[in-house]
Amino acid sequence: MTPTMLRQLWSLVEKTQASTLVTLDDASLVQCLLKQFNKEAAINGKEADLLTDYICSRISLIRDMAEARLSGEASA
């Protein structure tokens, strides 16, 4: 996976509603991010597989970041 793809993915995570990131089950979260990523940058099957594996390995971090955003919004 290229550094550009990584930046695009994490930018996408930041733009996605935090409530969506914490409420979807793992498979739905992966599919949601993949679908959104593919809208911004067309990717081939191999890149989609790499991205899927990467997202799966970072699900906990993605949810933690989303929960931190939600708790930050609640205290603001």
CA distance 5 to 30: 15
Q: What pTM value is reported for the model? A: 0.89
pLDDT at 72: 86
CB atoms within 10 A of CB 59: 14
pLDDT at 10: 97
Q: Is the pLDDT of residue 9 over 90?
A: yes
CA distance 45 to 68: 32
Q: Is the pLDDT of residue 75 over 70?
A: no
Q: Are 13 and 65 in contact (CB under 8 A)?
A: yes
Q: What is the DSSP letter of 16?
A: S
Q: Is the pLDDT of residue 73 over 90?
A: no
Give pLDDT tens digits for 14-28. Answer: 999 999 999 999 999
- Of the pLDDT bands very low, low, confident and very high (cuts 50, 70, 90), residue 50 is very high
